[in-house]
Structure 1
Amino acid sequence: MKTHFIAIGGSAMHNLAIALKDKGYQVTGSDDAIFEPSKSRLEKKGILPEEMGWFPEKITSDIDAVILGMHAHQDNPELAKAKELGLKIYSYPEFLYEQSKNKTRVVIAGSHGKTTITSMILHVLNFHQKEVDFMVGAQLEGFDCMVKLTPDNDFMVLEGDEYLSSPIDLRSKFLLYQPNIALLSGIAWDHINVFKTFDDYIEQFRKFVASITPGGVLVYNEEDAEVVKVVEDAENYFRKIPYKTPEYEISNGKVLLKTEMGDIPLSVFGAHNLLNLEGARHICRQLGIMDEDFYEAIMSFKGASKRLEKVEREDKGILYKDFAHAPSKVKAAVKAFNEQFKKDKKYGFLELHTYSSLNPAFLEQYDHAMDGLDEAIVFYSEDALKIKRMEPISPDLIKEKFKNDHLKVFTNAQELHAYWDILDKTKGVFLMMSSGNFGGLDLMK
């Protein structure tokens, strides 16, 4: 099968391209910019474009599938040529469904926690050498590629994202998967640039639950009121399995999970991660993994990339980085950090740089998000606001919306870096929350 990727360099797209190459497909692609690690990984597989840019001449009538990434625009010249030739154009999730429509599809959805839960499930399955196809949005220890597609495996585990499928398919990605088994971890308004109201956002999850195949299974977080309402209002038939935060304690800095089999020591921390773990356990049950085997495997789970991930510094300073940027994720990460390091001086850094997080109307969702930290720092770039053609935001407004008068607010990367440089990283603990890089801040220094 001959496939061509328009915007092959994306974090998800390049993993799919590699998976198809490994499956024996003929793979080509284009992009206007490709960064690491995508660049090296594509080059290693021999499918890195020779030059950057869009080339309509690459689109020929013998291509079986064109896969369109969100990074491309509606007026992309390669897309126009594909339409002109009448080629089959897939969004990323649409193509994944085509690859898994004869398998049992397990879809992990929710505003927060879905990457960690999917990662936990895959870690447990890998530990016990249970083969499944999968797609997950973060790099995992022990996995070379975050997409796996085979002709033989019975199950496919998919991280279900509510964001748009492609520039020409404005459905939420997870609406295309039609799960046999699903999990819903939580609902908290996100992607305000696409979903203008909270009800519009919730509607995507109503549709997701409605897309569960007849007689399927939904594992859901019973501690989330919005999730419970969506589940209770669903009219289609499926089996409902609720889960909640399990009992645990922190002893000598180690998290111990309380189970019928005794205390299970964990390498992750935070109530939200324990809640994620419980959801993963119920899904693994559906895949034939008994609780005893689940606990045996989960002890060695160290977390998904950039999800409370410890950075090993040469000076032995304690620093964790987290992808948290949406309000619910920030609050969960800060709460976990405060609980884990009660006796230490705690520094929390948050970068605001998504469209939602820089929208004044959305900022109130961050109320008290940084409470409990000894030093709370928020950074956003005034230059980024100009690039996004958004109105300026004052540091005073940030403090007001966060309801934190002691917040330090930086709008200039150089000033932030100067502040960082004077801090003694061996005294105190540091939580760095961003889906960016704090204007190029080196966390190792």
Structure 2
Amino acid sequence: MNVHFIAIGGSAMHNLALALHNKGYHVTGSDDIIFEPSKSRLAAKDLLPENFGWYPEKINQNLDAIVLGMHAKSDNPELLKAQALGLKIYSYPEFLYEQSKNKTRVIIGGSHGKTTITSMILHVMHYHDREVDYMVGAQLEGFDVMVKLTHDNDFIVLEGDEYLSSPIDRRPKFHLYKPNIALLSGIAWDHINVFPTYDNYVEQFSIFVDSIVSGGSINYNEEDSEVKRVVESSANTIRKLPYQTPEYTVDNGQTFLKTSEGPLPIEVFGKHNLNNLSGAKWICQHMGIDEDDFYEAIATFKGASKRLEKIAESVTGVAYKDFAHSPSKVEATTKAVKEQHEDKVLLACLELHTYSSLNVEFLKEYKGTLDAADVAVVFYSPHAVEIKNLEEVTHGQIASAFQRDDIIIYTNVDDFKDFLFSQNFDNKALLLMSSGNYGGLDFDEVKRLIA
């Protein structure tokens, strides 16, 4: 099968390209720019475009399918050529469904927690040598790729993202997978550039629940009132199975999960991660892993990349980085680190980087999210606000949004770095939360601060 990727360099797209190459397909692609690590990974499989840019001459009748990435625009010259030739054009999720329509599809959805839950499931399966197909949004220890597709595996586990499918398909990705088994972890307003109202955003999750195949099942976090309402109000003929946070204790910086065999020490921590673990356990049981085998495997799970990832530790100090940027994630992550290290001073640094987080109207959603931190710092780049064509954000608006009188605000990257590198990290926990990189912060230098 000959497949061409328009915008092959994206995180999701290049992983799908690698998966199809590994499956034996003939893969080509184009992009106007490709960054690391996508560039090196594509080059290693001889899939890196010879030249960057869009080349309509690459599009011909010999192609069996076009996969269109979000980075491309609706007037992309390769896309226009494909449309003119009447070629089959798939969005990323459409093509994943096409590859999995004869498998049991396990879809993990939610505003937060979906990457961690998917990662937990895959870790347990890998630990017990159970082969499954998958797509996950983070690099996992022991896994070479983030997408795996085979002819033979019975199950496919997919992270169900609610963002748009492609420039010409405005449906959320997770509407296209038609789950046999689903999970919904939480609902908290996000992606306001696409879903301008809270009700419109929540509606997407109702559609997701209704898309589960008849006779299928959904496990849902009943501690989230919106999740509970959405799932329990659905008229879809599916099994609805609630889960909640299991009992656990924290002793001297170590989290123990309560099990029938006694306290189990685990690597992950925080109420939100224990809640995620409970959901993952349910899904693994649907996939044939019993409870004892789940606990044996999950005890060795260290987390997904950039999800409460410990980057440095000394006798008295510790540092974490986390992808957290939405209000619910920021609050849960900050509380988790404080609970785990209650004897340490928690310095929490948040970069406002996404479209939503830099929107003046949305900022109020961050109220109280950094309250668990002893010292709270917010960094944002006025240039990023300008690039996104948003209204200027002021120090006063930030302080008012978080409703914390002692919050420290930086808009200059050098000032932020000077502050960070002037800190004494004895008896201190550092938490860096961002989907960006704080204007080019060197994390190796941060590690040396702690060591």
For 1:100-115, list aligned pairs within 5 A: 100-115=100-115
| Range moving further from structure 2, 150-159 or 48-57 | 48-57
Contact 2:232 2:240 in 1 (8 A): no
- Alignment correspondent of 1:349: 349
Shift of 1:252: 2.0
Q: CA RMSD in A?
A: 1.1
- Alignment correspondent of 1:253: 253
| Range moving further from structure 2, 409-418 or 376-385 | 409-418
Contact 2:316 2:427 in 1 (8 A): no
Amino acid at match of 1:159: E
Q: Which runs of 5+ in 1 are unaligned?
A: none
How far, CA to CA, are the matches of 1:405 and 1:145 in structure 2? 45
How far, CA to CA, are the matches of 1:214 and 1:162 in structure 2? 21
How far, CA to CA, are the matches of 1:259 and 1:345 in structure 2? 31
Shift of 1:33: 1.1
Shift of 1:67: 0.3
- Alignment correspondent of 1:129: 129
How far, CA to CA, are the matches of 2:291 and 2:314 in structure 1? 38
User: Secondary structure, in 3 states, of the residue corresponding to 2:105?
Assistant: strand
Identity, in percent, stands at: 62
For 1:383-422, list aligned pairs within 5 A: 383-422=383-422
**2:289 paired with 1:281:** no
The C-alpha deviation readout for 1:115-135, integer Å capped at 9, x for no partner, is 000000000000000011000
Contact 2:316 2:428 in 1 (8 A): no
Q: Which runs of 5+ in 2 are unaligned?
A: 446-451
How far, CA to CA, are the matches of 2:341 and 2:367 in structure 1? 22
Shift of 1:75: 0.8
Shift of 1:424: 2.8
Contact 1:214 1:238 in 2 (8 A): yes
Shift of 1:315: 9.9
User: Secondary structure, in 3 states, of the residue corresponding to 1:288?
Assistant: coil
User: Secondary structure, in 3 states, of the residue corresponding to 2:107?
Assistant: strand
Runs of 4+ in 1 over 2 A off after TM superposition: 312-317, 424-427
| Range moving further from structure 2, 231-240 or 277-286 | 231-240
The TM-score with structure 1 as length reference comes to 0.98
The TM-score with structure 2 as length reference comes to 0.97
For 1:14-33, list aligned pairs within 5 A: 14-33=14-33
Amino acid at match of 1:119: S
- Alignment correspondent of 1:334: 334
How far, CA to CA, are the matches of 1:202 and 1:350 in structure 2? 26
Q: How many residues align?
A: 445
**2:150 paired with 1:167:** no
How far, CA to CA, are the matches of 1:330 and 1:372 in structure 2? 10
- Alignment correspondent of 1:238: 238
- Alignment correspondent of 2:81: 81
**2:375 paired with 1:375:** yes
Shift of 1:240: 1.0
Amino acid at match of 1:111: S
Shift of 1:427: 4.5
- Alignment correspondent of 1:58: 58
Shift of 1:263: 1.1
How far, CA to CA, are the matches of 1:288 and 1:214 in structure 2? 21
Shift of 1:231: 1.0
- Alignment correspondent of 2:361: 361
User: Secondary structure, in 3 states, of the residue corresponding to 2:444?
Assistant: coil
How far, CA to CA, are the matches of 1:231 and 1:374 in structure 2? 37
**2:15 paired with 1:12:** no
Shift of 1:50: 1.2
Contact 1:313 1:444 in 2 (8 A): no
- Alignment correspondent of 1:433: 433
Shift of 1:374: 1.6
- Alignment correspondent of 2:148: 148
Amino acid at match of 2:73: H
User: Secondary structure, in 3 states, of the residue corresponding to 1:444?
Assistant: helix
How far, CA to CA, are the matches of 1:371 and 1:75 in structure 2? 46
